[in-house]
Chain A
Amino acid sequence: GDSVTQMEGPVTLSEEAFLTINCTYTATGYPSLFWYVQYPGEGLQLLLKATKADDKGSNKGFEATYRKETTSFHLEKGSVQVSDSAVYFCALSGAAAGNKLTFGGGTRVLVKP
C-alpha cells in the first residue's frame, strides 16, 4: 500500500538557518503530495501541495518540488523564524488508494532565537 517516510526529528536550528525536511513516498498511480504543519495544541493545517510531477508548491517561504523520478517531496525554507517551530507532516493522497490521506511520521522542528 501507499506509504510516506520522512526524516525523524527533532530538528533544532538557529533563527535564519536553512531548513530541509526529507520526504519520500511509495504509491501506485499519480498521487498528490502535501505538507501539513501542526503548531502546539492545534490541529493540522495545509502548508503547501503539488498535484503532478515537477510541480512546486510554495507558501510562507516554504517550498517543495514533486520529484517523481526520486519519489520525493522535500520541504525547504531558506531562513527560518522562531514562529516556524512546529511539527511538519508529509502526506499523499491518490485515487488508486481510494483517496485515503496517508501521512508520514512527522518531524518536529525547533527554532531557537
Chain B
Amino acid sequence: NAGVTQTPKFRILKIGQSMTLQCAQDMNHNYMYWYRQDPGMGLKLIYYSVGAGITDKGEVPNGYNVSRSTTEDFPLRLELAAPSQTSVYFCASSSGVNTEAFFGQGTRLTVV
C-alpha cells in the first residue's frame, strides 16, 4: 500500500533556484493538502485542493504555486527559493468532509 508518496526526501537549493516537490496518492482521494513544518513548530497550510482542477490558498501561500491536473498528483512549485522556505514539507490527502488525512513522509528542504 503506497498511500501518499512524496519526492524527493531531501533537497538543498541555492537562493533563487526553483524546484517542484512531487506528491502522489493512490487512494482516489479528492482532497489534497500541502503543509510546511518549521523546526519545533506546528503545521501551516500552504495550499489545498478539493478535486482535480480546483486549488485554493491556505494560510502561507506566498512564494509557492500548485496545480491539480489529476486526482492522483498535487505538485508544489517553489519559483524563487528563499532561506525562509527552509522547512519540512508534508503532503496529505483525505477522502472528503470530516475524514482523516493520510500524510506522506515529508520533504526536508534547505535553502542556502
Contacts and interface: CB of A to CB of B under 8 A. Distances in A.
Contacts of A83: none
A34 B45 contact: no
B103 A98 contact: no
B98 to A, nearest CB: 4
B90 to A, nearest CB: 6
Interface string B82-107: 00000000101010111111111110
Nearest to B106: A43
Contacts, number: 62
B103 A43 contact: yes
B43 interface: yes
B56 interface: yes
A23 B101 CA distance: 19
B105 A101 contact: no
Q: Size band of the A side of the interface?
A: 20 to 34
Contacts of A46: 100-102
A99 B41 CA distance: 22
A56 B99 CA distance: 16
A5 to B, nearest CB: 11
A98 to B, nearest CB: 7
Interface in B25-41: 31, 33, 35, 41
A102 interface: yes
B100 A49 contact: yes
B74 interface: no
B58 A100 contact: yes
Contacts of B101: 44, 46, 93, 101
B92 to A, nearest CB: 7
A100 B48 CA distance: 8
- Leading 3 A-B pairs by shortest Cβ distance: A32-B98, A105-B42, A43-B103
Interface of A: 31-32, 34, 36, 42-46, 49, 51, 89, 93-95, 98-106
